[in-house]
Structures are given as C-alpha cells and as structure tokens.
C-alpha cells in the first residue's frame, strides 16, 4: 500500500472522481448471501473509499448511490436501500465531521421518501462548513433528468424575460445543472465489470477518463482506488488537441 501511495503524483491528482458503485447484489450472490447483504457491505466500502480519497487529497468524490431507474427493482430491495441510506447517514455524520468532509447531494430529492430526504438534508446541514473534501451523493439521479431540468430552468428564464436564446452557452448550461459549483469529473470509476455509463452525469463526463474494473463494489479497496488514480495519471488528456500541442 505504501509503495502504491508513493507512486501517486500529488501535483496531478484528479480534482473530482465519480464512481458507479456496481456489483453489490452480484457479490452477495457469489458469497451465498441475499442482495441486501451486499448493499450493507457496500456501505463499509463507501466509508473506506471516502476516507482514503480525502487522505490522498481528492477534493470532490461523487458516488452514484441510487438512480431513478433503481425504483424499478423489487419493492423489498428498494425499501431496504432507503432504510439503509437513512441509517448510514445518521451513523456517519460524526465521522464526516471528524474528517472535515462536507456532504452534498444531487438528484430529485423532492420525490424521495420523507425520512430519506430529511436524513440527507440533516447531514448536509451538519457538515456544510467542512472543507477538506466534498462527498457528493447522487440519489434519485439520472443524467437525462439533470439535463431536462436544466432546460426547464432556462425555459423559465426565457419566459420571464431574464434570458435570451442567444445568451445560452455551454458555460450557462453548466450553471443550470445540479452539479453547479463542482468541477466536471476528471476520472470515472465503475466497478463490477460493466462498461457503460448507466445514465450517470452524461453532460459532465464528456471529457472524463474512464476506468473499469471487474472488482465488485464490496471488495473495492483503497488499493484499488490508488491503482485507478495511478492509471489515470499516466494518461494523456488532450481535450481535442494533439499530443504536440499538449507538450508545448
């Protein structure tokens, strides 16, 4: 672990890492346990990876905790996930405060169950002054929903006379998204062997580096996180330019 840590270039850290935490259910099945057990173990990984990311020096960590599509899962599993989220938020607030980590969230929070929304807002309020790292939970979120909501907001501005069509730019659109104030992810990590975005941060991931691993989320460790960061740091990010332009 220490050897890996030494390989990380502190001057080239990704400012923002986004993670699709996939494979809880499949991991549980592999070890002969119910799917809910996988989600419970996945929470332990969230804690470990959050603390590791903060310790390494990552400033923003966004975790895909629950998508809008996840409502279509069996009702028992959805209810268990909502209860687990509430319990985890209330148990981990002190840990976040001790580690100077701020909690924020993106997604359609207004349609969450009342207990879930209240626990989330309580955690956000209690950590709002922390500034070591921002832990951003994507809950009841989808990339398409985010884009549609941004368009609705701009339409309202045009209707109210505070915005002209000619004034719409990519920069303005960024400010209408739920991630306003957070830089686009430099690195996306997806666990469990799936190689797709699953409707996650579709606008924001336009130029992100992507790292896919077959490791299921409950088994994903600080070592795996460091390996992903090291892999990211050897890549050349050109943003449409040539290698020669980057070198200059």
User: Helices 35-56 & 75-98, crossing angle to 10 degrees?
Assistant: 30
Place of tokens 């173990």: 41
How would you write the pLDDT of the chain (248 residues) with one tens digit per residue? Answer: 788 999 999 999 999 999 999 999 999 999 999 999 999 999 999 999 999 999 999 999 999 999 999 999 999 999 999 999 999 999 999 999 999 999 999 999 999 999 999 999 999 999 999 999 999 999 999 999 999 999 999 999 999 999 999 999 999 999 999 999 999 999 999 999 999 999 999 999 999 999 999 999 999 999 999 999 999 999 987 666 666 555 55
Query: What pLDDT is recorded for position 237?
Result: 72
133-141 β-sheet, strand order: 101-106, 133-141, 60-67, 16-20, 187-190, 209-212
Nearest to residue 182, comparing CAs of 156, 208, 157? 208
In DSSP terms, which residues pair with 212 in a beta bridge?
A: 190
Query: What pLDDT is recorded for position 244?
Result: 59
Residue spans of the domains in the chain: they are: 2-141+183-247
Assign domain 2-141+183-247 to its CATH superfamily.
Decaprenyl diphosphate synthase-like (3.40.1180.10)
Query: What pLDDT is recorded for position 97?
Result: 95
- What DSSP string runs through 69-107? GGGGS-HHHHHHHHHHHHHHHHHHHHHHHHTTEEEEEES
Query: What pLDDT is recorded for position 1?
Result: 75
What's the pTM value of the predicted model, to 2 decimals? 0.94
Q: What is the largest CA-CA distance in the chain?
A: 59
How far apart CA 7 and CA 229 sit, in angstroms, is 10
Q: Which two tokens stand for residue 234?
A: 């050897």
Query: What pLDDT is recorded for position 203?
Result: 98
List the catalytic residues.
22, 70
Query: What pLDDT is recorded for position 246?
Result: 57
């Amino acid at each position: 672990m220490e050897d890996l840590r030494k390989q990380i270039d502190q001057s080239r850290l990704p400012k923002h890492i986004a993670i699709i935490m996939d494979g809880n259910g499949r991991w549980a099945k592999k070890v002969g346990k119910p799917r809910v057990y996988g989600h419970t173990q996945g929470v332990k990984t969230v804690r470990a990876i959050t603390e590791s990311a903060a310790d390494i020096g990552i400033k923003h960590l966004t975790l895909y905790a629950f998508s809008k599509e996840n409502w279509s899962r069996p009702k028992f599993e959805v209810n268990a996930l909502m209860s687990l989220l509430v319990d985890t938020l209330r148990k981990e607030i002190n840990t976040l405060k001790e580690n100077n980590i701020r909690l924020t969230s993106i997604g359609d929070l207004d349609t969450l169950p009342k207990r879930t929304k209240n626990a989330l807002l309580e955690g956000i309020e209690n950590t709002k002054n922390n500034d070591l790292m921002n832990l951003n939970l994507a809950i009841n979120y989808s990339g398409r929903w985010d884009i549609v909501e941004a368009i609705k907001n701009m339409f309202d501005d045009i209707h109210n006379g505070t915005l002209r069509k000619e004034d719409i730019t990519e920069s303005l659109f960024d400010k209408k998204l739920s991630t306003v104030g957070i830089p686009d992810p430099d690195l996306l990590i997806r666990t469990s062997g799936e190689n797709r975005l699953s409707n996650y941060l579709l606008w924001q991931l336009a130029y992100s580096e992507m790292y896919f691993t077959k490791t299921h989320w409950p088994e994903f460790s600080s070592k795996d996180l460091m390996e992903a960061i090291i892999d990211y740091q050897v890549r050349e990010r050109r943003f449409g330019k040539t290698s020669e332009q980057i070198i200059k």
